[in-house]
Structure 1
Amino acid sequence: MQHQTEKMPKMVTIKTVFLFVLVSVIVFASLYSSNLIRLYTAVTLYDEDKITENFLTLYQNFNANQIPASTQPFLFPEKLAQLPQTFPFDDQSINVQTFIEQSGTTGLLVIKDGNIVYEDYLRGNAQDRQHISWSMGKSFLSALFGIAIEEGYVKSIEQEVTEYVPELKGTGYDGVRIKDVLQMSSGVGFNEDYGDFYSDINRFSRAIAFGTSLDEFVASMKRARPPGTYHHYVSIDTQVLGMVLTRALDVSLTDYLQEKIWQPLGMEYPAYWLKDDYNMELALGGLNVTLRDYGKFGWLYANYGNYQGTQLVPIQWVLDSVTPDAPHLLPGADNPFSSSDSGYGYQWWIPQGAADEFAAQGIYHQYIYIDPDQKLVIVKTSANHLYNDKSYQWGAKHYALFRAIEQHFRD
């Protein structure tokens, strides 16, 4: 009897500890369940078995603002045709459909002379599903910046960013012109290697998952080289542009995009803009948009910012946005002042060998390719888990494909 009495306090203690741990886990899970979901999504974002669905549902797992569809949606007329069967690349003839499948395509849209001539959805994507923009969203932000300058909210791109965002004084952005940030020449050090778990861009993704303030993350950046001298693609630069705009406008980026582009451009579907726990949008690439509405934005730029007779984006801004105006911004594989083979404007890419073509471009093969004189827009969304394998020469092959499509529909 005495032996059993001695055991009871130990049993009670173990049971109490177990219940305490169980309750703690339940409380932690209930309080931080959204953060845990976001963290899991961020860590597994590019996994082969999850990447496609992740790219189509990110706005459901992260904080996001909704941008309502236009009350007067515009629908492109359809004159559907076939794509070319092959395209040339390095003395090879590559099968178009094979490449579309191999590169993880989720949607492909071709607009020619204001008509949809090709449209296809793959891997679970559909006409009414929103796909993450990644860095294609930077070009949307560029449009908003041009509008804000036209309306007088931002005086000049020659101003320093700290005139609008004083909390960046003493950081890598202190003394940097808005223009240098627009042209990805801020001089700020940033590792954008998506294949490196510890890179700055992947740390940034995890910061979003934890609900960290994006503004605070930006303020941690350091100077690596003199601004305005070297083109180094730094996604965090676009986040700074978003900070400048929100201070200058005193409204959210979401509201400004809705008023100035989504509604007047007749966007057919709602969009979603990822944001942090402090209601600041992921300006550097957090838009989630349907394929057709990406195409509509491309069509706006194919017409130099004019939509059905209304100049939504100032024409001079559009022209300046797609014109490299300094040696370090020019396209070319041998440019010693650039980390890229392509040229760069105000958040728009200019591919090698371009006549008047330019593109919005995002990781994992997101493209809005625009050829204004041919009145051609190609939109491609993708979720390719092999994106970081450079042996495939993905970028060069995509531009070869786009030019073959342009030639096909020109003929």
Structure 2
Amino acid sequence: MRSILKWALRLIVVLALAIGAVGIWKQEEIKRLWAVRTLFIEEKIVGNFSNMGAAFLSTGVPRGDGPTVDLPYGAETELPASVDAWVKARNVTALVVLKDGQIVFEEYYQGTGADDLRISWSMAKSFLSVLVGQLIEDGTIESLDVPVTQYAPMLKGGAYDGASLRDVLQMSSGVVFDEDYLDQSSDINRMGRVLALGGKMDAFAADLTESFAAPGTQWQYVSIDTHVVGMVVRGATGRPIADLLSERVIAPLGLEHTPYYLTDGVGTAFVLGGLNLSTRDYARFGQMIAQGGHWQGRQIVSEDWIEASTMPSAPTAEGKIGYGYQWWIPVGAAEGEFMARGIYGQYIYIDRRRGVVIATNAADRKFREAGVADANIAIFREIATGL
């Protein structure tokens, strides 16, 4: 009997140690999964959006060893009175306004500051667009009309087989992907859990099998299209996106802070929404775009690419917001008016005709309510016309 008791006791100890070891091994994954589930709750969202690297896997995007290229300050401008109410209603955390390349307004809210690196969400897509433009120009990528499987062969046989690079840039792949952020079982939230648990984003994209339309025939915003753009870029160059973006976009801009990407479990950058910069550096990127791709004596990306990528070329519904190559074009846009946009109120709004760039970050949990997006654009236009 004593030997049985000793054996049982040893078994209990071994099991306890095993459970403890598994708990320690899985601790980081559990932490990241919990971060996903609590990311947008009211009392944490502002802090979370300025500290994404604390909860998720990430990789730096080196700013290079060049000097910071300071954005000059112009005469401080008083914005329309309506801006104050908008800041409060939309839970804005930062607002930087440039006129002719000079900062004319800069403010931070809700305990955040100029040094915060804020999550871009889908503004990151527009950074990737610039990288694609460079690779098209130098011939690394043959053309926009190559099939994505030419550079990302693991997509053969899945939903993306038959789609071109142009199709995924324009969000017209026709691939079924549920982007409902409020539905925990949606594709976008399943993808978030893949990211949190250290899975592989490439495998997630390759596993998609359903289509609702032939590629290029119908527009529907599905963020996974941008991941496929990233797969094409990596396949064409054989290099990680973070390294390419650092070398060809970030370092030449002379940013004030070193950005970072959230990544999946194998270090693949979350290119569809995982870039983190300061708001002033988002504005700096926008100013480069507003200047036709020219920055400090260097042509970072051609003006032809900027004009092509910011045209409403995607097959969106008539009378609705337009889309180009990972850039948004508002309804009724004047020539040279377009924007990068991310969920929860992230914007880089550009009006080239007026020389205005507006970068704003927010933690707006009501961003999907009817009229909110239109109200944001109206405020940007009101600011721009008043400068």
- Report the TM-score, using the length of structure 2 for normalisation: 0.95
Larger radius of gyration: 1
Q: Which amino acid aligns with 1:195?
A: L
Give the Cα–Cα distance (whole angstroms) in 2 for the partners of residues 183 and 172 of structure 1: 16
Question: Structure 1 258/273 Cα, relative in aligned 2: closer, same or farther at 3 Å?
Answer: same
Partner of 1:84: 80
1:59, distance to aligned residue in structure 2 (A): 1.7
> What SS does the aligned partner of 2:71 have?
coil
Q: 1:170 aligns with which of 136, 150, 157?
A: 157
Partner of 2:322: 343
Q: 1:73 aligns with which of 61, 68, 85?
A: 68
Question: Structure 1 104/15 Cα, relative in aligned 2: closer, same or farther at 3 Å?
Answer: farther
Q: 1:228 aligns with which of 213, 216, 235?
A: 216
1:30, distance to aligned residue in structure 2 (A): 1.7
Q: Which amino acid aligns with 2:313?
A: D
Give the Cα–Cα distance (whole angstroms) in 2 for the partners of residues 22 and 403 of structure 1: 62
Question: Structure 1 26/306 Cα, relative in aligned 2: closer, same or farther at 3 Å?
Answer: same
CA-atom RMSD in angstroms: 1.7
Give the Cα–Cα distance (whole angstroms) in 1 for the partners of residues 318 and 125 of structure 2: 19
1:353-404 CA-partner distances (Å, limit 9, x unpaired): 100210000000100000001110001111122334x14x210110011011
Give the Cα–Cα distance (whole angstroms) in 2 for the partners of residues 218 and 265 of structure 1: 32
- Written as runs of structure 1 = structure 2, the 5 A alignment for 1:268-279 is 268-279=256-267
Q: Is the 8 A contact 1:302 1:370 kept in 2?
A: yes
Give the Cα–Cα distance (whole angstroms) in 1 for the partners of residues 242 and 73 of structure 2: 30
1:324, distance to aligned residue in structure 2 (A): 1.9
Partner of 1:92: none
Q: 1:205 aligns with which of 179, 192, 197?
A: 192
Partner of 1:140: 127
> What SS does the aligned partner of 1:41 have?
helix
1:167, distance to aligned residue in structure 2 (A): 1.0
Question: Structure 1 17/185 Cα, relative in aligned 2: closer, same or farther at 3 Å?
Answer: same
Partner of 2:333: 354
1:34-74 CA-partner distances (Å, limit 9, x unpaired): 11111010111111111111111112221111123342211
Q: Is the 8 A contact 1:109 1:292 kept in 2?
A: yes
1:24, distance to aligned residue in structure 2 (A): 3.0
> What SS does the aligned partner of 1:48 have?
coil
Give the Cα–Cα distance (whole angstroms) in 1 for the partners of residues 10 and 344 of structure 2: 50
1:149-190 CA-partner distances (Å, limit 9, x unpaired): 111110100110001111111101101111011000000001
Give the Cα–Cα distance (whole angstroms) in 2 for the partners of residues 304 and 126 of structure 1: 29
> What SS does the aligned partner of 2:353 have?
helix
Q: Which amino acid aligns with 1:254?
A: A
* Worse-superposed segment, 244-253 or 69-78: 69-78
> What SS does the aligned partner of 1:24 have?
helix
Partner of 1:63: 57
> What SS does the aligned partner of 1:97 have?
helix
Residues matched between the structures, number = 383
1:18, distance to aligned residue in structure 2 (A): 5.3
Q: Is the 8 A contact 2:170 2:313 kept in 1?
A: no
Q: Is the 8 A contact 1:324 1:330 kept in 2?
A: no
Give the Cα–Cα distance (whole angstroms) in 2 for the partners of residues 372 and 361 of structure 1: 17
1:182-231 CA-partner distances (Å, limit 9, x unpaired): 00000000110101111100000001111111000001112221111111
Q: 1:28 aligns with which of 22, 26, 36?
A: 22
Give the Cα–Cα distance (whole angstroms) in 2 for the partners of residues 168 and 204 of structure 1: 17
Q: Is the 8 A contact 1:38 1:210 kept in 2?
A: yes
Q: 2:172 aligns with which of 185, 191, 206?
A: 185
- The sequence identity of aligned pairs, in percent, is 40
Q: Is the 8 A contact 1:306 1:313 kept in 2?
A: yes
Unmatched runs of 5 consecutive residues or more in structure 2 = none
Give the Cα–Cα distance (whole angstroms) in 2 for the partners of residues 300 and 14 of structure 1: 70
Q: 2:37 aligns with which of 34, 43, 47?
A: 43
1:118-162 CA-partner distances (Å, limit 9, x unpaired): 111112321111101000000000000000111111010011000
1:15, distance to aligned residue in structure 2 (A): 5.5
* Worse-superposed segment, 399-408 or 122-131: 122-131
Unmatched runs of 5 consecutive residues or more in structure 1 = 1-5, 87-95, 333-340
Q: 1:245 aligns with which of 229, 233, 240?
A: 233
> What SS does the aligned partner of 1:263 have?
helix
1:265, distance to aligned residue in structure 2 (A): 1.2
Partner of 1:283: 271
